[in-house]
Amino acid sequence: MKYFIIILTLLFAILLPKGITAQAPTGRPIPINVRTLVEERIEINEERRENIRLKIEEKEATREAAKEELKAKLEEKAQNRVRTLFGNISTRIESAISRLYTLIERMEARLAIFAEEGENVLEIQEKIDSAKILLVSAENSLVVAKTELENTITSEDPKAGYLYVKDVVKDIKLTLVDAHSILVQVIGDMKGLRVGETENI
């Protein structure tokens, strides 16, 4: 029985698979097949992490692209709204200039009658001419304002460009107000001619 146990023990020691031994706390090296398993596991995990990272990056890129597209669409809508609003200003200014030109034509037609009647209309005509010059200046400035507005809303920094457009428009308004003031003076002068005409009768 004793010999049997000894033989059994020896057989067990010889035939025991070496790979099953665990690493002793004393730091004995891990058997090769376990080491490979662990390395493989680490590699798989790293690969998985990398895939997840790439997927996150891809989603982020898609989200950014969608955001940019939406931003571009919003900017285009804002540009169109600005164009519409400026279109109103532009139409109003053009209509005002046209009105003042027509008033001048009527005044010059009346002035021609006064001139035929022998009235001295030179000074009045000079005032009318200065009003016409102001109207031409306003027309030219409007062309500049339209061009600059379009450049501004499509530029990188519309806020800075818009300040210039705003100044040009305000200047146009002041110019037209000055032209209108001249016409008010002129019609007063023409009424004076009328009074003179009445007195002479």
Partner 1 sequence: MKITKNNFILILAIAVIILIGFFAYFFNSSDSLFKQEITKLKTQSTSNEVESIEQDILDTDLSDLDKELSDIEKEIEAAY
DSSP label at 163? H
Binding site for partner 1 (CB under 8 A): 74-75, 78-79, 81-82, 85-86, 88-89, 91-93, 95-96, 98-100, 102-103, 106-107, 109-110, 113, 153, 157-159, 162, 166, 169-170, 172-173, 176-177, 180, 183-184, 187, 190-191, 194
Give the C-alpha distances (Å, rounded to integers) separating 156 from 38, 58, 149, 151, 165.
55, 28, 13, 10, 16
Judged by CB, which is closer to partner 1: 89, or 115? 89
In the bound complex, what is the minimum distance in angstroms from residue 130's beta carbon to partner 1?
Answer: 16
In the bound complex, what is the minimum distance in angstroms from residue 36's beta carbon to partner 1?
Answer: 60
In the bound complex, what is the minimum distance in angstroms from residue 151's beta carbon to partner 1?
Answer: 13
Q: Give me the torsion for CA of 46, 52, 55, 60, rounded to 10°.
A: -110
What's the rounded Cα separation, in Å, for the pair 98 and 117? 29
Query: How many Cα atoms occupy the beta-carbon half-sphere of 156 within 13 Å?
Result: 0
Judged by CB, which is closer to partner 1: 31, or 158? 158
What's the rounded Cα separation, in Å, for the pair 81 and 87? 10
Judged by CB, which is closer to partner 1: 110, or 127? 110
In the bound complex, what is the minimum distance in angstroms from residue 74's beta carbon to partner 1?
Answer: 6
What's the rounded Cα separation, in Å, for the pair 113 and 92? 32
Judged by CB, which is closer to partner 1: 88, or 200? 88
